[in-house]
Structure 1
Amino acid sequence: MTAPTTQPPSTETTPPLLTGEHWIETLNDGSHVLVRPIRPEDRERESHFIERLSPASRHFRFLGEIREANPALLDQLINVDYKKSMAFVALVHDNGELREVGVSRYSASGDDQHCECAVTVADDWQHRGLGVALMRHLIEVARHNGFRQMFSIDAASNEPMRDLAKYLGFDRKRDPQDAAQVIHTLDL
């Protein structure tokens, strides 16, 4: 796979909150992950992350069956502008390489007041508090960028997302257009 030609955004368009920043998060079990904004050079890492997810985790993330991310989907996932769209990745060292073990993202939805969010954690990194850490950073940046509400459309059967959303203070209601889905909303 070739590297994308997109260059990282200049610091003129990147909010000061994000310029060159990364965090080391200590999770509930004492393990550590590096969290930072996603970059174009994460394209292959993002592809491998999706491929390693269990079928159930991929289904919950994409609300459908997907085995691997096609180039157009990878473009959409990697190319963020740090204002209307944002993504954070969680990385760990695994056999001498950085491996993506989680990602949270939002994208503006129609207007600049609402954004849709998603969070995915690798199956072997779930139940450690990583989803909470990733979402807290995402919520902070969405507020900083002027969004008033964040929402997520999820499978009604996605219990981990239900529990995470409840923990973070999201409201939950059935999707009026699809009884198999729910909508979680958080006023920012």
Structure 2
Amino acid sequence: MNEVHGVVPTSMPQWSQTLRDGSRVRIRPIASADRESERAFIAGLSDESRRHRFLGQISAPSERMLDCLVNIDPIHDAGLVAVTCEADAERIVGAARFSSDPDAVNCECAVVVADQWQGQGLGTALMRHLIDIARARGIERMYSVDMAENADMRELAMYLGFRVRAEPGDASLVVYELPL
């Protein structure tokens, strides 16, 4: 067993990212102060993007869901947001996170990008940073449970080196796995 499980960086870095269309975003850790921005981000997603991200239809996130999304356990979780600065205020345009099991060997991840920002490499950038954080913490395997119909996620997962397998007992779902 790896001896560095549960290692938490003393500070989380931030990155500036130039996307395919030349636009720039800042990728940084999500914080409790992002609660209303996260609510607006989720509300601004198309029905399909929300269904793919949350594996079911939601119209708006519950208060409990928002708590889980913005209040990160620094031992078991990591969460990143991609933000733009508009009228002196940040706007979330993408988010990625993972949550590890209690022994920090495996983690489940998720990523979502605002519909108008999709296809620019933002999901790839968010996931690459998330994978690097998981590796630095000594996590051995990252996985994601997704709808089998989600072609964009399948393409991203394959591009990043994830393997795919069927979800036992539910043909509508697949599991993507990446050994770290």
Q: TM-score range by the shorter chain?
A: over 0.9
The corresponding residue for 1:15 is 9
Question: Aligned partners of 2:78, 2:16: CA distance in 1, in Å?
Answer: 19
1:53-92 aligned within 5 A = 53-92=45-84
Question: Aligned partners of 1:83, 1:136: CA distance in 2, in Å?
Answer: 20
> How big is each residue's C-alpha offset from its partner over 1:104-155, in whole Å with a ceiling of 9 and x where there is no partner?
1000135310000000000000000000000000000001111000000000
TM-score after normalising by structure 2: 0.93
The corresponding residue for 2:171 is 179
Question: Aligned partners of 2:155, 2:27: CA distance in 1, in Å?
Answer: 22
The corresponding residue for 1:140 is 132
User: Structure 1's 14 and 187: CA in aligned 2 closer, same or farther, altered over 3 A?
Assistant: closer
Aligned match for 1:43, one of 25, 35, 45: 35
TM-score after normalising by structure 1: 0.89
Q: Structure 1 stretch 147-156 or stretch 21-30: which is displaced more?
A: 21-30
Identity of aligned residues (%): 47
The corresponding residue for 2:97 is 105
Question: Aligned partners of 1:74, 1:133: CA distance in 2, in Å?
Answer: 23
SS state at 2:81 partner? strand
> How big is each residue's C-alpha offset from its partner over 1:55-95, in whole Å with a ceiling of 9 and x where there is no partner?
00000000001011111000010111233101000000234
SS state at 1:82 partner? coil
Structure 1: gaps (5+ residues): 1-12
SS state at 2:57 partner? coil
1:156-175 aligned within 5 A = 156-175=148-167
Q: Structure 1 stretch 79-88 or stretch 123-132: which is displaced more?
A: 79-88
The corresponding residue for 2:119 is 127
Structure 2: gaps (5+ residues): 1-6
User: 2:8 touches 2:137 (CA, 8 Å); kept in 1?
Assistant: no
- How much has 1:14 moved relative to structure 2? 5.2
Amino acid at match of 1:178: D
Question: Aligned partners of 1:117, 1:174: CA distance in 2, in Å?
Answer: 17
Question: Aligned partners of 2:57, 2:168: CA distance in 1, in Å?
Answer: 22
RMSD: 1.3
Number of residue pairs the alignment of both structures matches: 174
The corresponding residue for 2:3 is none
